[in-house]
Every structure is written in C-alpha cells, then in structure tokens.
Structure 1
C-alpha cells in the first residue's frame, strides 16, 4: 500500500514491479543480476479518485504515456530493494506534483514613483554618455 495522503492510497496490486537487468557500468555484477526495477502504473485502471486521474492524464510529463500508463525505470542503486523504493518514491512525487495547483498570476502595473525613478535613471545615463563625447575647444 503506497500512501499519497491521509485519505488516498494506491493498492499494491495496481502497481506492476518487474526486476530487469540494469544498463551501464558495473562489470560482471550488472551483467548477472536483475537489480533494476521497471514500474508500470495504469492511471485509468487505478482506484485513485477521478480528480487525481484527470490531473495525472492532463500532466505533460515524459513518464506518462499517451495511453495513460506511468512507466518508471529505477537503476541508480546496486540493490533491487533500494531501486524498488526509489521507483515508488518517484511515482509518489509525480502524483504529488500533479496535485499542486499554481496560483493564477495577477497582472500589475508599475507605480508612478517607479516610472519616475526609471525615467530619471535614463536621463542620468544619457547625460553621462553625452559627457563622453569629444571635447571641443
């Protein structure tokens, strides 16, 4: 059981974990042991609330396929247990990221004082540049 919040959790049978051989350096160890974890989580077939499903499916993320399946490959550790924990942690982080609602931006205008300070700065800069010219006797 993977806890997302006090009220929401994902049952273990909804997450498909497969041990596969990892890629990259590691010599004979990496060639003989299946320590990497391949996690698959079908959003549409899950028991998540509809609001969670909608937010996850609308999320434009490289881990979510067009069919609505989350695919995570964890292979950063040498042990299968640590990779399993890492994959589940990444799944939880993805779901929590989808649940964050950003505040809408309110357009603001610069104050009158800010406009005056900007114009005065421009005038000062122009005077400084004008003084850099050639000196005529």
Structure 2
C-alpha cells in the first residue's frame, strides 16, 4: 500500500516520511498470533516533516503535544489479523489525527441579543409557571 498518505485536499505526507514497525500482536489468536507480525506501528516525524507548511506544522505540534515523543507521533494498530488491514487502519488513524490537528481553529462566537419575540415568550412562560405554582400553594 505504498504511496503518499492523503491527509486532506491540499495535504499529503510523502511515503518517505512514514516509518513502519511490525511486531507480533499480543492477546488471543492461537498459533497464528505467534508467527505473524500483524501488529503495526506507524511513526511520523511531525517536527521534521516537509509535508506541512510552517503554520500548520506549528499548530499540529501544539495540538498533538501530549502524544508526541521527540516530535514523533506513533500509531499502533493490532485489531486485525492481517498486517495489511492493520497498516490500512494505522494510516487512516494517522490521517484523521493530522486532519484534526491542522484544522483551522473554530470561528469566534459573536454575541447576539435575544429577539423581542424570544424575550416575550420567556416572560410568558415564567408567568405561567409562577401562576401554576401559586395555584398549587393556595389549594391546600
């Protein structure tokens, strides 16, 4: 499954920047698990990448800071028995992670005033509620 990892429309990570490690999965799975290196680890050096512009890289480094080790992000996948499926899973996860890490920050919320109708509805509702409670109090 070589080739660059497509993160978003404009961003893709060249394959040379992805490094793979394969190892045996832990957990159940019988003899198969003891012989196939189906667990994969995908590492990507975020600090040194050329794939992102300066601004995006800085943003991603800040947002992923807790997950980085020396500027490198590592994703492990071992849920499938086939190494290929695990490699695909790891790539999907890395792409998703990077996509979220480089997304522009959400727009600031502009405060708005409630409309006159909304204010009136609120007041009416409050009146009704208070009337109801008053009725409950009086009818004892």
Please report the TM-score for the alignment, with normalisation by the length of structure 2: 0.83
Do structure 1's residue 57 and structure 2's residue 61 form an aligned pair?
yes
* Cα distance in structure 2, aligned partners of 1:11 and 1:135: 77
- Structure 2 runs not aligned, ≥5 long: none
Do structure 1's residue 70 and structure 2's residue 73 form an aligned pair?
yes
Task: Give 1:43 shift.
Answer: 0.8
* Cα distance in structure 2, aligned partners of 1:99 and 1:132: 57
* Cα distance in structure 1, aligned partners of 2:89 and 2:26: 16
- For 1:47, which of 46, 50, 59 is the aligned residue? 50
- Structure 1 runs not aligned, ≥5 long: none
Please report the TM-score for the alignment, with normalisation by the length of structure 1: 0.85
What are the Cα deviations for residues 3-47 of structure 1, in whole angstroms up to 9, with x where unaligned?
334553322221110111212222222233210101111111221
Alignment CA distance shift 1:124-1:7 (3 Å)? closer
* Cα distance in structure 2, aligned partners of 1:18 and 1:12: 14
More helix by proportion, 1 or 2? 2
Q: Contact between 2:7 and 2:96, CA under 8 Å: does it hold in 1?
A: no
Task: Give 1:60 shift.
Answer: 4.1
Question: What is the aligned partner in structure 2 of residue 110 from structure 1?
Answer: 114
* RMSD of equivalent CA atoms: 2.0
Task: Give 1:113 shift.
Answer: 2.0
